[in-house]
Chains A and B, each alone.
Chain A
Amino acid sequence: MTISSESIDLHAVKSALKKEQNKILWRQIMTNGSLFVGFVIIAFLILVALFGPLLMKHDPNTMDVLKRFAAPSADHWFGTDNLGRDVLARVIYGTRISMGIGVAVAIIASMSGLIVGIYSSYYKWLDHLLMRLSDGIMAFPGLLLALALMAALGGQASNVVIAVSIVATPYIARVVRSEALALKEQTFVEATRALGASDSRIIWQHIAPNTLSSLIVQATFIFAEAIIVEAALSFLGAGIPPPAPSWGNILSDGKTYIYKAWWMTFFPGMTITLAIIGLNLFGDGLRDLLDPHVSKAKK
Chain B
Amino acid sequence: MKTYLLKRLLSAIPVLFIVSTIVFLILQMTPGDPALVILGQEATLEEVEDLRQQLKLDRPIYEQYFNWLFNALRGDLGESYFMNDSVLEAILSHLGPTISLGILAEIIAIALAIPLGILAARRKGTLTDQSVMTFSLLGMSIPNFLLSLFLILVFSVFWRLLPVAGYKPLGAGLWEHLKYLLLPAFALGTAHAALIARMTRSAMLEVLNANYIKTARAKGVKEKWVIYKHALRNAFLPILTVIGQSFLGLMGGTAIVETIFAIPGIGQLIVNGVMRRDYAIVQGAVLYVTFAFVFINLAVDMLYGIVNPQVRLDNKK
Contacts and interface: CB of A to CB of B under 8 A. Distances in A.
A140 B289 CA distance: 7
Given A144-B252, A152-B27, A298-B202, A272 B22 contact: no
Contacts of B142: 273, 276
Nearest to A298: B202
Given A141-B248, A258-B149, A276-B141, A151 B30 contact: yes
Contacts of B277: 151
A140 B251 CA distance: 9
B234 interface: no
A237 interface: yes
B249 A272 contact: no
A274 to B, nearest CB: 9
Interface residues of A, number: 43
Contact of B153 (A237, A266, A273, A281): A266
For B15, B22, B141, B256, the residue with the greatest tally of chain A CB atoms inside 10 Å of its CB is B141
B141 A273 contact: yes
Given A232-B145, A235-B256, A258-B152, A137 B138 contact: no
Contacts of B26: 145, 148-149, 151-152
B252 A143 contact: yes
A279 to B, nearest CB: 8
Interface stretch (A22-30, A60-68, A112-120, A128-136): A128-136
B23 interface: yes
A72 B102 CA distance: 37
Interface in B1-57: 14-15, 18-19, 21-23, 26-27, 29-31
Interface stretch (B75-83, B216-224, B267-275, B305-313): B267-275
B275 A238 contact: yes
Contacts of A281: 137
Contacts of A139: 15, 18-19, 248, 290, 293-294
A273 B145 CA distance: 11
B15 A236 contact: no
A141 B271 contact: no
B155 to A, nearest CB: 12
Interface of A: 132-133, 135-137, 139-145, 147-149, 151-154, 224, 228, 231-232, 235-238, 251, 254-255, 258-259, 262, 265-266, 269, 272-273, 276-277, 280-281, 298
Given A148-B274, A151-B277, A232-B143, 19 more contacts: A132-B15, A139-B15, A139-B248, A139-B293, A140-B19, A140-B23, A141-B251, A144-B255, A147-B271, A148-B27, A152-B27, A154-B31, A231-B146, A235-B145, A237-B275, A265-B150, A276-B142, A280-B137, A280-B140
11 contacts: A139-B293, A140-B290, A141-B252, A143-B253, A144-B270, A148-B26, A148-B27, A224-B141, A236-B271, A258-B157, A276-B141
